[in-house]
Structure 1
Amino acid sequence: MPSFHDLALVAAQFPALYLVTLTLLGLLVGSFLNVVIHRLPIMMERSWQQEYRDYFDESSSDEEQSTAAPERFNLMVPRSACPHCGHAITALENIPILSWLMLRGRCRGCQARISARYPLVELCTGLATLAIAWHFPLGWPLLGALLLTWTLIALTFIDLDKMLLPDQLTLPLLWLGLLLNISGHFVSLQDAVLGAMFGYLVLWSLYWSFKLLTGKEGMGYGDFKLLAALGAWLGWQALPLILILSSLVGAIVGITLLLLRRHQQGNPIPFGPYLAMAGWIALLWGNDITTWYLQSLL
């Protein structure tokens, strides 16, 4: 089996092929992320409903509960199909971006519109993968950065859809960041642990301060866990930059939506996408941004 060193030599000799290959991989991963974004919230909801029935539903007998076996539904089963007519998606209809373009954004079975967000997720994942491949040399940091990037994309769109940042994604992301930083691939383990602690505590403190002052909840617990995960990957030093960037982008987007009258004042706006975008920017250019800012003060 070839080592990272052997693959790095091939990548150095054929850089264009290397970048194209990883970009294509990103497009394929983006297609899978569409499945995760759609199905994971449904899986969670079904799991919560099943837990509720198991603990509180006393109206049905044990025999009725045992015979009502739920239909299998996970990230692999059932096969992807059109939600309008049930047309099973074939392999040729599942090529990232190209299939949507060839089908002109419509189902082959019933001609119902297919959301443009599916190719958008694939394109974002492909371009983000290209940026990571360009920035990181082949090795564990590259693999880690790719996993972080792909997870942040899934979290972004799930939060936009459901105002939810699933523990199934944020907590493994946190532990993976600590695991990779045992060997200091991004920051020292001490900085990673402090980053996870402070990342959670900063937003936890803001949450409770806002709630005590206003009686309202300003954000969800998933935001605490996501910032903790970013702190575990990038260290406590990256937290101020992530908070400033996410707050700035969130404020700009919120004001823009209000001006365009696409959002009513008082309605919640998900904060997770802005944390994810800020964390990804800090992953690639955090040190450069911080250095530029400090030099501008001198």
Structure 2
Amino acid sequence: MSMSANEWLACMLLTGLVAGSVLNCVIWRLPVMMRRADSNTKEDGFPERFNLFLPRSCCPCCLQTIPFYHNIPLLSWLLLRGRCHHCRVSISLRYPLIELTTALCTGWIAWCWPPGWYALCLASGSWLLIALLAIDLEQMLLPDVLTLPLLWLGLLANLHGAIAPLADAVVGAVTGYLFLWIFYWSFLLLSGKEGLGYGDFKLLAALGAWCGWQRLPILLTAASLAGIGLFLLLRLTGRLREDGAFPFGPCLAIAGWWQMVTPLAMW
């Protein structure tokens, strides 16, 4: 039986809320797992068996297990008034924001695209971008374990040219990576400083796989303008690092997401 537009939208909004809760887990745990792998040590206060699945959901401060009725997306944070039930430490506003953002982004996809393969790919790609955005904002890190699946998913989504012909998607991935790679080395040779991270190359390659090479100039222009705005905001609020470095991944993610999910007919 076919799904009505309202049913499709409601289903995607609910799925987005649940996905946002899962993303909060990924955003917190993945950087910890990566630090452990790099340093080969587990002396960080977390349990020895620590991954995306174990231990069960717990408070990052007191590490007490969170019961399922305190882990309902958005609702639990509101009922608990933003504090851990056990230690009463404030729960970061990031948790409800990620859940709400994921739900709204998933709902927008349902509004723009009918039920089908591409809409599901878009939802999955959007969730990866939200995780990348949040991790880069907090850690200035774009993990390969997220950027590479985003790239392959983009190529798979365009297998039948949903948003760009497959050939354009492949060229977009190569062009996106090479463009920032050339910029990185040119800036390094001229200034002696690193202007970007390698994760940015891979993220733009992934977005090129989704959007095709033709949309990359618009994407980069929008991301650059967003980057200037973020730089000024961080500087005005005193949150800019002493070396002037700031995460460019969120700017790429936002500009790229809009290119990915918005049908050409709406431009």
TM-score normalized by structure 2? 0.93
CA contact (8 A) 1:238 1:286 kept: no
**Aligned-partner Cα distance in 2 for 1:16–1:165:** 35
Aligned structure 1 segments of 4 or more residues deviating by more than 6 angstroms: none
CA distance in 1, matches of 2:59, 2:108: 32
Structure 1 position 42 matched with structure 2 position 32: yes
* Number of positions where the alignment pairs a residue of Structure 1 with one of Structure 2: 263
Partner of 1:183: 160
* CA distance in 1: counterparts of 2:194 and 2:264, whole angstroms: 33
The answer for the alignment partner of 1:274 in structure 2 is 251
Residue in structure 2 matched with residue 138 of structure 1 by the alignment: 115
Q: Do the aligned partners of residues 182 and 16 (structure 1) sit closer, same or farther apart at CA in structure 2, a change above 3 Å counting?
A: closer
Establish whether residue 166 from structure 1 lines up as the match of residue 156 from structure 2.
Answer: no
Equivalent residues of 2:112, 2:262 under 8 A apart:
no
Q: Which runs of 5+ in 2 are unaligned?
A: 42-46
Residue in 2 aligned with 1:241? Answer: 218
Q: Secondary structure at the match of 1:82?
A: coil
Tell me if 1:28 matches 2:28.
no
Q: What residue number does 1:150 align with?
A: 127
More helix by share: 1
> How far is 1:10 from its partner?
2.0
Whether the 8 Å contact between 2:125 and 2:153 is mirrored in structure 1 is: no
Change beyond 3 A, Cα 1:168–1:143: same
**C-alpha separation in 2, matches of 1:149 and 1:181:** 15
Aligned 8 A contact 1:140 1:185 in 2? no
The residue that corresponds to 1:294 in the other structure is none
SS at match of 1:138: coil
Secondary structure (helix, strand or coil) at the match of 2:65 reads: coil
Q: Using structure 1 for the length normalisation, give the TM-score.
A: 0.84
Equivalent residue letter for 1:33 = L
Query: Is residue 194 of structure 1 aligned with residue 187 of structure 2?
Result: no
Deviation at 1:177, TM superposition (A): 1.4
* Distance in 2 of aligned mates of 1:262 and 1:190: 42
Match of 2:87 in 1: 110
Please report how far the alpha carbon of residue 278 of structure 1 lies from its aligned counterpart in structure 2 after TM superposition. 0.2
Report the Cα offset of residue 216 of structure 1: 0.1
Partner residue in 1 for 2:102: 125
- Equivalent residue runs for 1:84-95 within 5 Å: 84-95=61-72
2:8 and 2:115 in contact (8 A); partners too:
no
Aligned-pair Cα RMSD in Å = 1.9
Report the more deviating stretch, 199-208 or 250-259: 250-259
Residue 196 of structure 1 deviates from its aligned partner by 0.4
CA distance in 1, matches of 2:242, 2:87: 38
Q: Among the aligned pairs, what percent are the same residue?
A: 54
